[in-house]
Structure 1
Amino acid sequence: MMEHNKQTIQQAVNMVAATPAILEALLEPLNESQLNWKADEESWSIRQVVEHLYNADNMAFAGRIAYIMAHDGAAMPAISPEERARERAPEGISMLELLGLFRNRRLQNCAAVREFAPEPLAHTVTYQEYGAF
Protein backbone atom coordinates (compact mmCIF):
# COMPACT_ATOMS: atom_id res chain seq x y z
CA MET A 1 0.00 0.00 0.00
CA MET A 2 2.82 2.40 0.82
CA GLU A 3 4.34 1.99 -2.67
CA HIS A 4 0.95 2.74 -4.23
CA ASN A 5 0.69 5.91 -2.13
CA LYS A 6 4.19 7.01 -3.14
CA GLN A 7 3.38 6.35 -6.80
CA THR A 8 0.08 8.25 -6.53
CA ILE A 9 1.85 11.17 -4.86
CA GLN A 10 4.48 11.25 -7.61
CA GLN A 11 1.77 11.25 -10.28
CA ALA A 12 -0.04 14.13 -8.57
CA VAL A 13 3.19 16.10 -8.17
CA ASN A 14 4.03 15.55 -11.84
CA MET A 15 0.62 16.95 -12.83
CA VAL A 16 1.05 19.98 -10.55
CA ALA A 17 4.59 20.53 -11.86
CA ALA A 18 3.23 20.72 -15.42
CA THR A 19 0.99 23.73 -14.66
CA PRO A 20 3.56 26.44 -15.52
CA ALA A 21 4.32 24.95 -18.96
CA ILE A 22 0.60 24.66 -19.70
CA LEU A 23 0.02 28.29 -18.69
CA GLU A 24 2.99 29.45 -20.76
CA ALA A 25 1.58 27.71 -23.85
CA LEU A 26 -1.94 29.08 -23.30
CA LEU A 27 -0.96 32.65 -22.42
CA GLU A 28 1.94 33.26 -24.83
CA PRO A 29 -0.26 34.52 -27.69
CA LEU A 30 -2.20 36.99 -25.49
CA ASN A 31 -1.41 40.71 -25.36
CA GLU A 32 -1.34 42.89 -22.23
CA SER A 33 -4.90 44.08 -22.78
CA GLN A 34 -6.17 40.51 -22.88
CA LEU A 35 -4.09 39.51 -19.84
CA ASN A 36 -5.47 42.41 -17.79
CA TRP A 37 -9.11 42.24 -18.95
CA LYS A 38 -11.77 41.69 -16.26
CA ALA A 39 -15.42 40.90 -16.91
CA ASP A 40 -16.40 43.20 -14.02
CA GLU A 41 -14.98 44.68 -10.80
CA GLU A 42 -15.55 41.43 -8.91
CA SER A 43 -13.71 39.29 -11.47
CA TRP A 44 -10.01 38.55 -11.66
CA SER A 45 -7.92 39.15 -14.74
CA ILE A 46 -5.69 36.42 -16.13
CA ARG A 47 -2.69 38.32 -14.75
CA GLN A 48 -4.26 38.40 -11.27
CA VAL A 49 -4.87 34.64 -11.39
CA VAL A 50 -1.24 33.95 -12.34
CA GLU A 51 -0.04 36.38 -9.63
CA HIS A 52 -2.22 34.51 -7.13
CA LEU A 53 -0.75 31.16 -8.20
CA TYR A 54 2.78 32.52 -7.79
CA ASN A 55 2.00 34.16 -4.44
CA ALA A 56 0.36 30.99 -3.12
CA ASP A 57 3.33 28.88 -4.19
CA ASN A 58 5.74 31.41 -2.73
CA MET A 59 3.96 31.61 0.65
CA ALA A 60 2.25 28.32 1.22
CA PHE A 61 2.69 25.36 -1.12
CA ALA A 62 5.42 23.10 0.32
CA GLY A 63 5.44 24.85 3.69
CA ARG A 64 1.75 24.16 4.27
CA ILE A 65 2.15 20.50 3.33
CA ALA A 66 5.11 20.20 5.71
CA TYR A 67 3.01 21.83 8.47
CA ILE A 68 0.15 19.36 7.93
CA MET A 69 2.56 16.43 8.05
CA ALA A 70 4.03 17.63 11.35
CA HIS A 71 0.78 18.76 13.03
CA ASP A 72 -1.98 16.20 12.42
CA GLY A 73 -5.32 17.54 13.66
CA ALA A 74 -3.98 21.02 14.46
CA ALA A 75 -5.35 24.38 13.40
CA MET A 76 -3.51 25.82 10.39
CA PRO A 77 -2.24 29.32 11.20
CA ALA A 78 -3.30 32.08 8.84
CA ILE A 79 -0.72 33.86 6.72
CA SER A 80 -0.10 37.31 8.18
CA PRO A 81 -0.68 40.45 6.09
CA GLU A 82 3.03 41.24 6.52
CA GLU A 83 4.00 37.85 5.09
CA ARG A 84 1.55 38.31 2.22
CA ALA A 85 3.08 41.69 1.36
CA ARG A 86 6.64 40.39 1.60
CA GLU A 87 6.07 37.32 -0.60
CA ARG A 88 4.07 38.93 -3.42
CA ALA A 89 5.19 38.94 -7.03
CA PRO A 90 7.14 42.08 -7.99
CA GLU A 91 4.95 44.78 -9.52
CA GLY A 92 5.40 45.89 -13.10
CA ILE A 93 6.98 42.71 -14.44
CA SER A 94 5.92 41.19 -17.74
CA MET A 95 3.75 38.10 -17.93
CA LEU A 96 6.75 36.21 -19.30
CA GLU A 97 8.79 37.18 -16.23
CA LEU A 98 5.90 36.33 -13.90
CA LEU A 99 5.47 32.92 -15.51
CA GLY A 100 9.21 32.33 -15.16
CA LEU A 101 9.06 33.14 -11.44
CA PHE A 102 6.03 30.88 -11.05
CA ARG A 103 7.71 28.03 -12.96
CA ASN A 104 10.87 28.25 -10.84
CA ARG A 105 8.97 28.39 -7.53
CA ARG A 106 6.57 25.60 -8.53
CA LEU A 107 9.43 23.30 -9.57
CA GLN A 108 11.25 24.00 -6.28
CA ASN A 109 8.09 23.20 -4.33
CA CYS A 110 7.43 20.03 -6.31
CA ALA A 111 11.01 18.87 -5.70
CA ALA A 112 10.46 19.38 -1.96
CA VAL A 113 7.14 17.49 -1.97
CA ARG A 114 8.70 14.57 -3.87
CA GLU A 115 10.97 14.06 -0.85
CA PHE A 116 8.12 13.84 1.67
CA ALA A 117 7.24 10.44 3.13
CA PRO A 118 3.74 9.35 2.06
CA GLU A 119 2.37 8.29 5.47
CA PRO A 120 1.99 11.75 7.04
CA LEU A 121 0.37 13.06 3.88
CA ALA A 122 -2.85 11.46 5.16
CA HIS A 123 -2.91 13.94 8.07
CA THR A 124 -5.50 16.70 8.30
CA VAL A 125 -5.61 20.20 9.74
CA THR A 126 -8.35 22.76 10.25
CA TYR A 127 -8.17 26.13 8.54
CA GLN A 128 -10.43 28.80 10.00
CA GLU A 129 -11.87 29.92 6.66
CA TYR A 130 -12.36 26.50 5.05
CA GLY A 131 -12.66 23.91 7.80
CA ALA A 132 -10.86 20.56 7.87
CA PHE A 133 -8.71 19.36 5.02
Structure 2
Amino acid sequence: MNLDYILERMADNAATVESLARSVGEEQARWKPSPTEWSILEVINHLYDEEREDFRTRLDYTLHRPGQPWPPIDPEGWVVARSYNSRELQPSLDNFLAERRRSMAWLRSLQAPNWSATYTHPRAGAITAGALLASWLAHDFLHIRQLTQLHWQFIGVVAPDCPVTYAGPW
Protein backbone atom coordinates (compact mmCIF):
# COMPACT_ATOMS: atom_id res chain seq x y z
CA MET A 1 0.00 0.00 0.00
CA ASN A 2 1.29 3.45 -0.91
CA LEU A 3 0.56 5.25 2.36
CA ASP A 4 2.09 8.53 1.20
CA TYR A 5 -0.27 8.62 -1.77
CA ILE A 6 -3.33 7.95 0.41
CA LEU A 7 -2.39 10.58 2.98
CA GLU A 8 -1.62 13.16 0.31
CA ARG A 9 -4.96 12.53 -1.40
CA MET A 10 -6.83 12.73 1.92
CA ALA A 11 -5.25 16.10 2.66
CA ASP A 12 -6.00 17.33 -0.86
CA ASN A 13 -9.56 16.03 -0.62
CA ALA A 14 -10.19 18.19 2.45
CA ALA A 15 -9.19 21.22 0.39
CA THR A 16 -11.45 20.05 -2.45
CA VAL A 17 -14.42 19.65 -0.11
CA GLU A 18 -13.68 23.09 1.29
CA SER A 19 -13.61 24.65 -2.18
CA LEU A 20 -16.92 22.98 -3.09
CA ALA A 21 -18.63 24.33 0.04
CA ARG A 22 -16.89 27.55 1.10
CA SER A 23 -18.81 30.12 -0.96
CA VAL A 24 -22.18 28.36 -1.01
CA GLY A 25 -25.10 30.49 0.14
CA GLU A 26 -27.72 29.38 2.65
CA GLU A 27 -30.35 28.53 0.03
CA GLN A 28 -28.00 26.32 -1.93
CA ALA A 29 -26.51 24.75 1.20
CA ARG A 30 -29.94 23.47 2.29
CA TRP A 31 -31.35 22.74 -1.19
CA LYS A 32 -32.08 19.11 -2.01
CA PRO A 33 -32.81 17.77 -5.50
CA SER A 34 -35.52 15.59 -3.96
CA PRO A 35 -36.77 14.81 -0.45
CA THR A 36 -34.72 11.60 -0.33
CA GLU A 37 -31.45 13.13 -1.54
CA TRP A 38 -28.95 15.04 0.58
CA SER A 39 -28.14 18.73 0.54
CA ILE A 40 -24.62 20.14 0.56
CA LEU A 41 -25.07 20.86 4.27
CA GLU A 42 -26.05 17.26 4.93
CA VAL A 43 -23.04 15.95 3.00
CA ILE A 44 -20.64 18.18 4.96
CA ASN A 45 -22.07 17.12 8.33
CA HIS A 46 -22.00 13.49 7.23
CA LEU A 47 -18.31 13.86 6.39
CA TYR A 48 -17.70 15.42 9.81
CA ASP A 49 -19.39 12.58 11.70
CA GLU A 50 -17.83 9.90 9.51
CA GLU A 51 -14.40 11.41 10.10
CA ARG A 52 -14.60 11.14 13.88
CA GLU A 53 -17.09 8.33 14.54
CA ASP A 54 -16.53 5.93 11.67
CA PHE A 55 -13.26 5.75 9.80
CA ARG A 56 -10.74 7.06 12.35
CA THR A 57 -12.40 5.28 15.26
CA ARG A 58 -12.82 2.00 13.43
CA LEU A 59 -9.30 2.06 12.06
CA ASP A 60 -8.02 2.67 15.60
CA TYR A 61 -10.01 -0.30 16.89
CA THR A 62 -8.75 -2.51 14.07
CA LEU A 63 -5.12 -1.55 14.67
CA HIS A 64 -5.02 -1.21 18.45
CA ARG A 65 -7.99 -3.12 19.94
CA PRO A 66 -8.13 -6.42 18.10
CA GLY A 67 -11.23 -8.44 18.79
CA GLN A 68 -13.16 -5.55 20.33
CA PRO A 69 -16.40 -4.72 18.52
CA TRP A 70 -16.56 -1.46 16.67
CA PRO A 71 -18.82 1.18 18.19
CA PRO A 72 -22.17 1.29 16.37
CA ILE A 73 -22.86 4.00 13.81
CA ASP A 74 -25.95 5.13 11.89
CA PRO A 75 -24.82 7.47 9.09
CA GLU A 76 -28.16 7.44 7.27
CA GLY A 77 -30.15 7.96 10.48
CA TRP A 78 -27.87 10.72 11.74
CA VAL A 79 -28.91 12.99 8.86
CA VAL A 80 -32.36 13.40 10.44
CA ALA A 81 -31.62 12.54 14.08
CA ARG A 82 -28.82 15.10 14.25
CA SER A 83 -30.67 17.70 12.16
CA TYR A 84 -27.86 18.18 9.66
CA ASN A 85 -29.90 20.40 7.35
CA SER A 86 -30.79 22.86 10.13
CA ARG A 87 -27.14 23.56 10.97
CA GLU A 88 -25.03 26.40 9.62
CA LEU A 89 -22.68 25.62 6.76
CA GLN A 90 -19.56 27.52 7.84
CA PRO A 91 -19.26 25.97 11.32
CA SER A 92 -20.11 22.56 9.84
CA LEU A 93 -17.35 22.91 7.25
CA ASP A 94 -14.91 24.16 9.89
CA ASN A 95 -15.78 21.12 12.06
CA PHE A 96 -15.04 18.73 9.21
CA LEU A 97 -11.76 20.44 8.34
CA ALA A 98 -10.62 20.39 11.98
CA GLU A 99 -11.44 16.69 12.27
CA ARG A 100 -9.60 15.93 9.05
CA ARG A 101 -6.53 17.71 10.44
CA ARG A 102 -6.81 15.55 13.59
CA SER A 103 -7.13 12.45 11.43
CA MET A 104 -4.09 13.38 9.36
CA ALA A 105 -2.00 14.04 12.47
CA TRP A 106 -3.14 10.74 13.97
CA LEU A 107 -2.44 8.76 10.80
CA ARG A 108 1.03 10.31 10.47
CA SER A 109 1.78 9.47 14.12
CA LEU A 110 1.14 5.74 13.72
CA GLN A 111 4.27 3.70 14.37
CA ALA A 112 4.59 0.72 12.01
CA PRO A 113 0.86 0.01 11.76
CA ASN A 114 -0.18 -3.51 10.79
CA TRP A 115 -2.23 -2.80 7.68
CA SER A 116 -3.06 -6.52 7.52
CA ALA A 117 -4.81 -6.45 10.90
CA THR A 118 -8.33 -7.69 10.27
CA TYR A 119 -11.75 -6.95 11.72
CA THR A 120 -14.72 -9.16 10.92
CA HIS A 121 -17.74 -6.97 10.28
CA PRO A 122 -21.13 -8.64 10.68
CA ARG A 123 -22.31 -7.51 7.22
CA ALA A 124 -19.17 -6.60 5.29
CA GLY A 125 -17.12 -9.60 6.42
CA ALA A 126 -13.38 -9.51 7.01
CA ILE A 127 -11.78 -6.14 6.36
CA THR A 128 -8.12 -5.28 6.84
CA ALA A 129 -6.88 -2.03 8.29
CA GLY A 130 -5.39 -1.24 4.89
CA ALA A 131 -8.72 -1.82 3.15
CA LEU A 132 -10.42 0.39 5.73
CA LEU A 133 -7.92 3.20 5.08
CA ALA A 134 -8.35 2.83 1.31
CA SER A 135 -12.13 2.88 1.80
CA TRP A 136 -11.79 6.10 3.80
CA LEU A 137 -10.10 7.70 0.80
CA ALA A 138 -12.67 6.24 -1.59
CA HIS A 139 -15.46 7.60 0.64
CA ASP A 140 -14.02 11.09 0.15
CA PHE A 141 -14.26 10.73 -3.61
CA LEU A 142 -17.85 9.48 -3.45
CA HIS A 143 -18.87 12.62 -1.60
CA ILE A 144 -16.74 14.93 -3.74
CA ARG A 145 -18.65 13.50 -6.69
CA GLN A 146 -21.92 14.05 -4.81
CA LEU A 147 -21.05 17.68 -3.97
CA THR A 148 -20.09 18.32 -7.58
CA GLN A 149 -23.38 16.85 -8.77
CA LEU A 150 -25.32 19.03 -6.32
CA HIS A 151 -23.60 22.09 -7.79
CA TRP A 152 -24.42 20.90 -11.32
CA GLN A 153 -28.06 20.26 -10.38
CA PHE A 154 -28.40 23.66 -8.68
CA ILE A 155 -27.81 25.35 -12.03
CA GLY A 156 -31.40 24.38 -12.78
CA VAL A 157 -32.52 26.47 -9.78
CA VAL A 158 -30.52 29.59 -10.63
CA ALA A 159 -31.04 29.32 -14.41
CA PRO A 160 -34.32 27.37 -14.77
CA ASP A 161 -34.94 28.38 -18.39
CA CYS A 162 -31.39 27.71 -19.52
CA PRO A 163 -30.68 24.10 -20.37
CA VAL A 164 -27.07 23.03 -19.88
CA THR A 165 -27.05 20.42 -22.66
CA TYR A 166 -24.31 22.31 -24.48
CA ALA A 167 -21.97 21.47 -21.59
CA GLY A 168 -22.23 17.79 -22.40
CA PRO A 169 -23.92 14.85 -20.69
CA TRP A 170 -23.59 14.35 -16.96
TM-score (norm 1): 0.73
CA distance in 2, matches of 1:89, 1:121: 35
Deviates more, 1:9-18 or 1:104-113: 9-18
The residue identity in structure 1 corresponding to 2:64 is A
Q: Does 1:19 align with 2:13?
A: yes
Q: Does 1:36 align with 2:30?
A: yes
Distance 1:108 1:13, change over 3 A: same
Give the secondary-structure state (helix, strand or coil) at the position aligned to 1:120: coil
- Contact 2:11/2:104 (<8 A) preserved: yes
- Contact 1:70/1:120 (<8 A) preserved: no
1:114 to 108, 114, 129: 108
| 1:93 CA drift (Å) | 4.4
Aligned twin of 1:77? 70
| 1:70 CA drift (Å) | 2.8
Q: Does 1:95 align with 2:86?
A: no
Aligned twin of 1:131? 125
Deviates more, 1:121-130 or 1:45-54: 121-130
Post-superposition Cα deviations, 1:43-69, rounded to whole Å, max 9, x if no partner, equal: 111111110110111223322212111
Post-superposition Cα deviations, 1:2-53, rounded to whole Å, max 9, x if no partner, equal: xxx5xx2132112112222211212233222211122222211111111011
How many residue pairs get aligned? The number is 121
Give the secondary-structure state (helix, strand or coil) at the position aligned to 2:23: coil
> If you compute each CA radius of gyration, which structure gives the higher value, 1 or 2?
2
How much is the aligned-residue C-alpha RMSD, in angstroms?
2.7
CA distance in 2, matches of 1:76, 1:95: 33
Distance 1:132 1:117, change over 3 A: same
Q: Which runs of 4+ in 1 moved over 6 A?
A: 88-91
- Contact 1:125/1:132 (<8 A) preserved: yes
TM-score (norm 2): 0.59
The residue identity in structure 2 corresponding to 1:79 is P
Structure 1 gaps of 5+ residues are none
Structure 2 gaps of 5+ residues are 128-170
Distance 1:89 1:97, change over 3 A: farther
Give the secondary-structure state (helix, strand or coil) at the position aligned to 1:38: coil
CA distance in 1, matches of 2:32, 2:99: 26
